[in-house]
Structure 1
Amino acid sequence: MRLFTIGPVEMLEEIKKIGSNNVPYFRTTEFSKIMLESDRLLKKFMGTAESSRSIYLTASGSGAMEAAIMNCFSMQDKLLIINGGTFGQRFTDICMIHKIPYEEIILQPGEALTTKHFIPFEKHSFTGLLVNIDETSTGQLYDINLIAEFCQRKKLYLMVDAISSFLCDPYIMDFYGIDVTIISSQKGLCVPPGISVVVLNQRIFEERVQYKDVQSLYFDFKSYIKNFERGQTPFTPAVGICMQMSKALNLIAEEGLEVHLDHIAAVANDFRQKIQNLPVKIPEYPLSNAITPVIFEKNIAYKVFQVLKEKYDIMLNPTGGILHDRVLRVAHIGNTDVEDNKELIYYLEKAIRDVNSHD
């Protein structure tokens, strides 16, 4: 099965090889050194200071989103959430469960985030803003300059889910005043799912996290921060994925972050050029390099997905909700290049013909 999915991805052979090895015992100085070096590289690529704290959770991205909110905010806060899809909605669902007051900027399908969306909230009082900087369900890459300027002017904490953007698009945490960044292993790191990382800057750690009384054993960040001083986690991590993550970060370091990002951008742009000859279109809003939403003229998206999967052994991301039959999503990360785009376009065209011939 050839994967053009946003996570899990088509992994490099070097990463897959590590996954075939025995998982090492982890309460050792050797494993601690690996984790501390991984953390150094991760912070470097994220554009944040060594003083930022990292929490390595054996959890999905949604677990990290919930944990980050639990450790940074409370019922005494009021948050503004950019809700432009499935994962913006997830932020609202978490706040609802934890009874944290919030308001939403709700974007309709195909609607780009612009300055006008913030105008109704200029006179409102908030303590934080939550955003999925690349809304994975739509592929929209929100304007971080617009968001950061609003937060800085209003003196808000800024929490960014960068799960589908980090190591795919340029990302500079400290430059934009981002207080919390959330990532997961199966997206830009291109290793299996199972590890999520929350990175806290000095400000939110000192003003919030270190004093927060979190009603949770597993998700209390203070325990993770203390243990990671020696390169360990308080509970058993997904050790094998940590080893693969170490390799992935070192491969990017050898290649150079700029070269790595340029490659993904080139693959994305090449695909977007090639697909123009098919009876589909792509959104007009800004897109992440990670993924391209493919909008079909007719309601055949899921049928095309099934043909690609079952007949041609190719996996794309289907889309849920009201876009189920209109949109497929194609990822450009992992072990893919422009030659793979040629193959994908060829079979995508065949699948469309197959579906149309049976309708």
Structure 2
Amino acid sequence: MADDIRRIGAEPLPYFRSKNYCEHVQALTEDLRYLFGTTSTPLTITASGTAGMEMALVNLFNPGDEVVFVNGGTFGAKWGSMARDLGLHTHEMPLEHGRDLDLQRLLDAVGPNVKGVLLSAHETSTGQRFDVRSACQALASKDCLTIVDGVSSIGCDPFEMDAWQVDCATACSQKGLACMPGLVFVTFSERAQRKLRQTTHFRSYLDARVYLDNIPRGMLPFTPAMHATFQVAHMLQSIRKVGLAARIQQTAERATYFRDLMLAEPGFQLFAQTPSNALSAITLPPGVMATPLAGIIRDKYQAVLPLNPTKAETFIRISHMGEQHEAELAQLAQWIIEESNALIVLPD
């Protein structure tokens, strides 16, 4: 996080039902419209990104409804397991990790009884960015809602909810916005809002109707993570000053800079066919495994390379979100290259 964002986390807080805080929520909501690219009303929920996914499922579908989920990694698989836990009937569309979405396969998987398609804009476990724009536009004429997990993509990659005809999308405070964790933002299209008023699925804390009914007057129905809302508001105002496209371009340039350094060395390759700006998934040279390398980087340099939730040992992931500088990325690349070369065991 940037220094000015961290300082906001130490500021005194007003009463969350006060006039000033309600005005803050209204201004935050307007800036979130800009982030999502929508005229709909983004909802601010104090919870994790997983709760945003659950909010979409329990508000838009009834138990027994059929949904298709695209499984291109850990978070695609999560869509399927959550949907099953909540009583939906799921159809899996598996993808090879790190590969592009096959649009025709997806359209073929959407039968006449399918009520929704569950997508990830960016599969965080593989670094792969999917063409959700084409998918959502192709499905817009069907009686089938498109739900997009944009948690690690929105704010890093281009995303235009209305123009792409997305029915529901989620984002978080701690990813592309680089603020403290604690908030998930969920936006429903007009079509989705009509549907959620008719759905009979049990819901309470994540009942989108309660949020939609209260937010026009700046009221969040439950106690919010207030410091996080102030951080996000500040960040969104900063993004507005430079423009969202320029902010995304900055992230893209950091990603390209780091990838060029890594790919210039023998044995390193990109894992994702179409990488997100949010992170680089780098395939390691033969003989180098991710877990030992991450342990060395952590213990020797105090830098964290999170282990892959897919358990894959052939590649590592490096974030490009938040406050990063080229000198830091160059240093990290040097450490990874040097320690990888040291781990390669040459034959006698």
- TM-score tier (shorter): over 0.9
User: Counterpart of 2:235 in structure 1: which amino acid?
Assistant: A
- Of 303, 320, 327, which aligns to 1:314? 303
Displacement after TM superposition at 1:320 (Å) = 2.2
Give the superposition deviation at 1:25: 2.5
Q: What is the Cα deviation at residue 153 of structure 1?
A: 4.4
Any idea what SS the aligned residue of 1:247 has? Answer: helix
Q: Corresponding residue for 2:214?
A: 227
Measured against aligned partners, the alpha-carbon deviations of 1:29-69 in whole angstroms (never above 9, x if no partner) come to 111111111110111121101xx132211111011101210
* Residue 347 of structure 1 pairs with residue 338 of structure 2: no
- SS of equivalent to 2:140: helix
Aligned residue number for residue 138 of structure 2: 150
Instruction: Single out whichever of 119-128 and 27-36 deviates more from structure 2.
Output: 119-128
Q: Distance in 1 between matches of 2:67 and 2:282?
A: 32
TM-score for the superposition, normalised by structure 2 = 0.93
Question: Counterpart amino acid of 1:14?
Answer: D
1:102 is matched with which residue? Answer: 90
Following the alignment from structure 1 to structure 2, what is the Cα–Cα distance between the partners of residues 159 and 108? 21
Hey, what's the Cα distance between the residues in 2 that align with 1:26 and 1:284? Answer: 43
Aligned-partner Cα distance in 2 for 1:217–1:289: 36
Gaps of 5+ in 1: 1-10
User: Partner amino acid for 1:25?
Assistant: Y
Larger CA deviation: 142-151 vs 70-79: 142-151
Aligned to 1:32: 22
Counterparts of 1:214 and 1:124 in 2: how far apart (Å)?
21
| Number of residue pairs the alignment of both structures matches | 345
Which residue of structure 2 aligns with residue 42 of structure 1?
Answer: 32
Task: Supply the distance in 2 between the matched residues of 1:235 and 1:119 (Cα, whole angstroms).
Answer: 39
Alignment-mate amino acid for residue 233 of structure 1? L
CA distance in 2, matches of 1:188, 1:339: 21
Structure 2 letter corresponding to 1:27:
R
Aligned 1:166-245 pairs, distance under 5 A = 166-206=154-194, 208-245=195-232
* CA deviation after TM superposition for structure 1 residue 113, in Å: 1.5
| Cα displacement (A) at 1:126 | 1.6
Mapped partners of 1:46, 1:61: distance in 2: 15
1:7 matched to which residue of 2? none
Matched to 1:59, the amino acid is A
**Structure 1 residues 336, 291: closer, same or farther in 2, change over 3 A?**
same
Distance (Å, rounded) in 1 between the aligned partners of 2:123 and 2:310: 15
Aligned equivalents of 1:71, 1:358: Cα separation in 2: 57
Q: Does 1:69 align with 2:57?
A: yes
Consecutive unaligned residues in structure 2, runs of 5 or more: none
Q: Residue 255 of structure 2 contacts residue 279 of structure 2 at CA under 8 Å; is this kept in 1? A: yes
TM-superposed CA distance for 1:91, in Å, is 0.8
Is residue 247 from structure 1 mapped to residue 234 from structure 2 by the alignment?
yes
Counterpart of 1:5 in structure 2 is none
Shift of 1:201: 1.3
Partner Cα separation in structure 1 for residue 17 and residue 210 of structure 2: 16
Amino acid at match of 2:278: A
Shift of 1:351: 2.5
Q: Which residue of 1 aligns with 2:6?
A: 16
For the 8 Å contact 1:302–1:326, the answer to whether it is kept is: no
1:284/1:55 CA distance change after superposition, 3 Å:
closer
CA distance in 1: counterparts of 2:136 and 2:6, whole angstroms: 38
CA distance in 1, matches of 2:23, 2:339: 48
2:101 aligned partner: 113
1:198 & 1:104 partners in 2: Cα distance? 24
Relative contact order (C-alpha < 8 Å, sep 6+): which is higher?
Answer: 1
Deviation sequence 1:77-132 (CA, Å, 0-9, x none) = 21111111111111111111112112111012233212342364265542211101
Q: Does the Cα contact within 8 Å between 2:282 and 2:315 map onto a contact in 1?
A: yes
> What's the CA shift for 1:199?
0.6
Q: Whole-Å Cα distance in 2 between the matches of residues 264 and 21 of structure 1?
A: 28
Aligned residues with identical type, % of pairs: 27
Structure 1 stretch displaced more, 276-285 or 179-188: 276-285
Q: For residue 211 of structure 1, report the CA deviation from its aligned partner.
A: 2.7
Please report the RMSD computed on the Cα atoms of aligned residues, expressed in angstroms: 1.9
Residue aligned with 2:248, SS: helix
The 3-state SS of whatever aligns with 1:192 is: coil
What whole-Å deviation, never above 9, does each CA across 1:299-349 have from its counterpart, x for those lacking one? Answer: 4211111111111011223202340x2221111110013232211112222
The offset of 1:177, in angstroms, is 0.6
1:135 to 120, 123, 133: 123
